[in-house]
Structure 1
Amino acid sequence: MNLTADIALAHRLAEAAGAAIRPHFRTPMAAERKDDASPVTLADRAAEEAMRRILTAEVPQDGVHGEEFGITEGRTGRQWVLDPIDGTVGFLAGRPLFGTLIALLVDGFPVLGVIDQPILGERWLGVTGQPTTLNGLPVRTRPCRDLKDAAIATTGPHYFGDHDGEHFMALAARTDHKRMVMGGDCYNYAMLASGHLDLVCEAGLKLHDFAALVPVVEGAGGTMADWNGEPLHAGSSGHVIALGDQARLEDVVEALTCAH
């Protein structure tokens, strides 16, 4: 699969989104509430609009799935999945730990992913069959010999329902939970890909939240799966784990199923 043109397009999308976002960072900005009560800002919408304009001009036959403006059906089996600001809460708090997520799915499976942090100037690119890069240089996950040594991250406990929360805490109890990281959204997955975290666990994610993360993590030597250990795709439930060391997948799945 030759994705050279798609990689160049993904970089242009990230540049356009960043140009739309940067003028709004750490400025007084009102946020509206969406139907699910999550916040959305002018920056979210402007960034997605900028990316959609490019996609409409350059690949009009491809589908587009965006967080803010929904789904545009395509005719090629290819779908661009966009999350203009993953981590709007952090963005509103002036924390540069949010990211623009850009994914290309072919027949429902992610083959290209970008995590772009437009304030810090950091861009992770993951492509099927290629090593993941940060600003053009390869990055790798780190080994984790035992789950009890794993540094775990999640966006926050309030994103888990009671049932899912019990399973997450059962997993966390088997890790080095005194090093647990809260907050960070997509940036946690970037840090895992770069070898600074071992495990990320979340529930309730939508396709635009996780599609771009899969090629980034897996191209760095890690693995992403649902809570049953199955590969992620367009129909996945949104229960997501990311592991820097693939050898720990069975341990993580077992821990998630052991909640009382």
Structure 2
Amino acid sequence: MNRHLETAMRAVEAASRPIMKYFDGSFEVEIKADMTPVTVADREAEQVIRKVIREDWPDHGIFGEEFGASDRDSDYLWLVDPIDGTKGFVRGYGMFSTQLALMYKGELVLGVSNAPAMGETAWAAQGEGAWLNGERVRVSAIDKISNASISTGNLASIAASKCWASLGNILSRANRTRGYG
């Protein structure tokens, strides 16, 4: 595991502590200008992630959902979504995760997704494959949509886009569909 990935794994693990502290408790929800919710858990988790990154890589840029950009001109730019799925989080649904990615000169080189309520951490890095809880994951051998299971999320945003008809065409041909979000 490369040093950048080690930092990312430590950062999402550290962020899970304040997230789970609030997930099991009570907190206030604010609505941001873009009409999406934000909680103290979102903010504390992003601060923790920024601290871990800064300790290891003080010259790297960070762009976070809650606190914006810092050192954005760096060759390395970390992308942070402390709680992807805040709407579910505030309702007590465990289908949320921390998303952390690293770009080098505009190209994604690694990503980590930690779903602490589900006990799952997935990561992928350039040249190192993709992993879920320490087990290598692979693409399915299924090569026909008629044999495939398709999972979707956030259909409301897709329904409002030009892709809705195309998605409907694909889903109607699939063996099975599931959705969340």
CA offsets 1:172-218 (integer angstroms, 9 cap, x no match): 22323xx322225xxxxxxxxxxxxxxxxxxxxxxxxxxxxxxxxxx
Q: Deviations over 1:82-123 (max 9, x none)?
A: 111111112122222211111111111111111111123221
What's the counterpart of residue 177 of structure 2? Answer: 180
| 1:60 CA displacement | 1.8
Is the CA contact 1:61–1:75 (under 8 Å) kept in the aligned structure 2? no
1:34 to 23, 32, 35: 32
Equivalent of residue 130 in structure 2, options 121, 129, 132? 132
Amino acid at match of 2:165: E
Say which of 113, 117, 120 aligns to 1:119.
117
TM, length-normalised to structure 1: 0.64
Mapped partners of 1:157, 1:133: distance in 2? 27
The 10-residue stretch of structure 1 (158-167 or 63-72) with the greater mean CA deviation from structure 2: 158-167
Q: Distance in 2 between matches of 1:38 and 1:76?
A: 29
Cα 1:75–1:36 change in 2 (3 A) is closer
Matches within 5 A, 1:104-115: 104-115=102-113
The answer to which structure has the higher strand fraction is: 2
Query: Is the 8 Å Cα contact of residues 149 and 174 (structure 2) preserved in structure 1?
Result: yes
User: Given the two structures, how large is their TM-score scaled by the length of structure 2?
Assistant: 0.90
Following superposition of structure 1 onto structure 2, how do residues 134-213 of structure 1 map, counting pairs within 5 Å?
134-160=132-158, 161-176=160-175, 179-183=176-180
Runs of at least 5 residues in structure 2 that lack an aligned partner in the other structure: none
Q: Secondary structure at the match of 1:132?
A: strand
Q: Cα offset for 1:75? A: 4.7
Equivalent residue pairs, number: 180
Q: Which structure would you say has the larger RCO, counting Cα contacts within 8 Å and 6 or more residues apart?
A: 1
CA distance in 1, matches of 2:177, 2:87: 20
In structure 1, list runs of 5 or more residues that go unmatched: 185-260
C-alpha distance in 2, partners of 1:141/1:163?
27
Aligned-residue offset at 1:77? 1.0
Percent of paired sites with the same residue: 33
3-state SS, counterpart of residue 140 of structure 2: coil
Q: Which runs of 4+ in 1 moved over 3 A?
A: none
Counterpart of 1:181, as a letter, is: R
SS at match of 2:43: helix
Deviations 1:53-81 (A, max 9, x none): 22223212111111111111245411111
Counterpart residue identity of residue 117, structure 1: A
Q: Secondary structure at the match of 2:129?
A: coil
Please list the CA deviations of residues 132-182 of structure 1 after superposition, one character each: whole Å capped at 9, or x if unmatched: 222222122322221122222222321121533223223322323xx3222
Cα RMSD between the aligned structures? Answer: 1.8
- Secondary structure of 2:174's partner? coil
The verdict on how the C-alpha distance between 1:51 and 1:169 changes in structure 2, with shifts beyond 3 A counting, is same
Question: What is the match of residue 9 of structure 1?
Answer: 7
Note if 1:69 corresponds to 2:59: no
